[in-house]
A and B are shown apart, each in its own frame.
Chain A
Amino acid sequence: MVIVNIIVTVLLAAGIFFFLVGSIGLLRFPDFYTRLHATGKCDTLGGGLVILGAIIYHFFQYPETLLVPAKLAFLVFFIFIANPTATHAIMKAAYKTGVKPWRLGEERR
């Protein structure tokens, strides 16, 4: 059980690290499109890793109920499809409305 605890802790820590990186990117990047890069990619993987840690922990802690890990795996699959689609939809809306992309050397927007 100790090795399972270590693996789950590492997965949760990695997931939280990616969420933190996404939030720092949200503050640091100079433009709407680049901020979308940071949050859209990092939130996807961070959420996926946290839920993967939950799946592994639940699978070893309560081996009778296999339904909960199955539902969580479905959730991970859904996140990996819905997050990029939502990111793309937001970026498409901004492009059609006319938000200009930032070039190197300009000031922050």
Chain B
Amino acid sequence: MAVFWILLSGIFDAFHVISGLVCCSIVSVISHDLLVKGKSERKLAKLLRLLMYLPWELWQIVLANIDVAYRVLHPKMPIDPLVIEFETTLRGEFSLLTLANSITLTPGTITILVDPERGKFWVHAIAKEPADALLVDQTMQRKVAHVFMETAVETRTLYPERTGDL
């Protein structure tokens, strides 16, 4: 392919040959998922999905801070903290990291502990609604699973009386 292009252009100095080689190698690295058989990690697709996930996460950061501002400045201070525990089927190191960071950045929840072998998260929630958004809706787990192309989740709640022991 490179030889064909060089023949067509007719310019044989070093700059064009080297830039042609560089372009060929970049294209082959990116598209080698299509050419090579076997278990492909599809890193480029995951990177693009991660870049598409970032604007949603930035919007969640803004919502989180507006939520905290509401709870802080309200005269009655509506907080009702509880510790919840749930399991996910995400196992990759980077996907667990992304989920833990996203939980810390979204309204009302902070990750306390992660168990990487069983995919367990202990999360401190500041009220019932953010805890429900994490347990019942499971929007964030599904989005992170979509980014890293792993399967979905299952959860169960730790009863609030059992907080404090692991």
Contact = CB atoms under 8 A, between A and B. Distances in A.
Contacts of A102: 81
Nearest to A46: B65
A41 B81 contact: no
Contacts of A87: 104, 110
A42 B68 contact: yes
A13 to B, nearest CB: 14
Contact of B69 (A18, A34, A85, A101): A18
Contact of A41 (B64, B100, B111, B166): B64
Contacts of B113: 92, 95
B84 to A, nearest CB: 11
A42 B67 CA distance: 10
Interface in A18-55: 18, 21-22, 24-25, 28-29, 31, 33-34, 36-38, 40-42, 44-46, 48
Contacts, number: 95
Give the dominant DSSP class at A's interface.
Answer: helix
Contact-residue bracket for chain B = 20 to 34
A98 interface: yes
A24 B65 CA distance: 13
B104 A84 contact: yes
A85 to B, nearest CB: 7
Contacts of A45: 61-62, 64-65
Contact of A101 (B62, B72, B100, B164): B164
Given A21-B68, A36-B110, A104-B81, 13 more contacts: A18-B65, A24-B73, A25-B68, A34-B81, A37-B110, A38-B68, A38-B72, A42-B69, A45-B64, A91-B112, A92-B112, A98-B164, A103-B82
Q: Which 7 A-B pairs have the closest CB atoms?
A: A84-B104, A25-B72, A45-B65, A21-B69, A104-B80, A95-B112, A100-B164
